[in-house]
Amino acid sequence: MRAGICLVALGAAHAAKPYSHGWDTVADLMGMHGKYPADNPPTASALAFAAAHYSLITTGTSCSAVGANRTFTIEENVWQQARAMKASNPGAVVGMYWRTDFMMEMSDCSHASAEWAAHPEWRLRDDGGALVAHAGNHFYLDYTQPAAEAYWAAAILNSTAALLPGGSPVLDYIYFDGMSMSATPSAYAPGIGPARTRALYAAKAAMVADVQARLDARGLGQNLLLNGMDDIGSAPARVATGAAGSMFDHWTILQFLNATNGDFDAPAMDAAFDLVGAAVLQNVTTQIKGWPGPIVAQRDMYPPNIPTPRTPVELQQVGAARFNSELALFLLVATELDFWIYSWFWEFGDYVPGAADSSVGDGFYPDAKCQLGAPAGPMQRVAGTWTYTREFASASVFVDLNNRTACKVTFKGAC
């Protein structure tokens, strides 16, 4: 039986309440992050599947798919799917995806689109005074302008305002993409120098703190989760905003690999283990994005020495074959506040079977049903090696950073 998510109360230093899971089965620790086209939303059975199989569900859609008549705003479209998932499983915890850099959906199909169009002065300009645009026609918001930040905060609060008949929120959280908060950030956008880059990132962090504080004041337990935490340098700034948590989205891929052959950069991965366990993150949720194998470039590209699966059937087969070994890497560091998001990419069909392009098979992942039990203690590194172990009440974990496929979870209970 699935254990329910609960909220963990914190001290005054951190107002938001992070999400917590039980340890009964692997499924209790799993989340999803899948968007869908608005003119082809998930079926009722797909929404019910998501609500039954994942503890945290981030979803969203895009304007380009809403259709010329724009029957729904983007907020209304996502609310409709969230209501359906909660009707299927009242305990489902559902969040909405919003990008925080260029104003794509916000400018085209949001409740807040008209206000954005009426204030071109809120658009970000580079150091030479030219407008900064993505793909030529989507402009960036200048968070250093108080009026622009206030606009954004109000728009996000509106997107979380819908309520179910009993008074609980339709959306439990907002997932903010584009949230780089490194201690040494790269340029905020083309033509933005170091000084303004630092100012813009500081202003965006202040916006997060503002929105989270206003959600806290609303008293419905709604949260912000932030993308892009792949290094220890960004963790303190994230926690300081009061947001409930962040996603480690490059976990075990890209910069943690040798791009030529897909081998782990063992010291880098060891540092990633330390990051998840760092004291600064002990009172926040970490979403750890699991990936099927050594992805060295996006989208979903393996190194030259390993064939990259292409078709839905190939993706399903490889994803299923690698589930256990990738799970081992997550369980090595998981706490009760950490969730595993395993998939090929970011579409609804990467988490839910049944569609023609689904990359997860109809049988889902059999190991998700296996009994796990609480951890007996933290991970242990075998002295002088890149191997690690960890024990759970009903499972044993082994990780070898010199051999990804040797990583393994051995279940001792029912599956």
Tens digits of residue pLDDT in 79-89: 999 999 999 99
Domain ranges of the chain: 6-370
Contacts of 78 (CB under 8 A, 6+ apart): 59, 60, 61, 96, 159, 171
SS3 annotation, 376-412? CCCCEECCCCCEEEEEECCEEEEEECCCHHHCEEEEC
Provide the pLDDT for residue 5.
55
> Tokens 């996603």 identify what position?
247
Provide the pLDDT for residue 184.
77
Provide the pLDDT for residue 68.
54
Q: Where are the beta strands (DSSP E) in 101-251?
A: 133-134, 138-139, 173-177, 223-226, 245-248
In eight-state DSSP terms, residue 163 is B
Provide the pLDDT for residue 136.
82
Provide the pLDDT for residue 3.
40
Provide the pLDDT for residue 337.
97
Angle at CA 36, nearest 5°, toward 167 and 157?
Answer: 35
> Tokens 């009242």 identify what position?
90
Pairing label, strands 408-411, 395-400: antiparallel
pLDDT < 50 stretches in the chain: 1-4, 7-13, 66
Q: Which fold has domain 6-370?
A: TIM Barrel (3.20.20)
Q: Which residues of 298-320 are buried (b: 16+ CB within 10 A; e: fewer)?
A: eebebbeeeebbeebeebbebbb
Provide the pLDDT for residue 413.
87
- Cα 325 to its chain centre, rounded Å, is 21
Provide the pLDDT for residue 1.
30
Closest CA to 328 of 264, 401, 377: 401
- Counting Cα atoms < 13 Å in the Cβ hemisphere of 228 gives 18
Provide the pLDDT for residue 15.
60
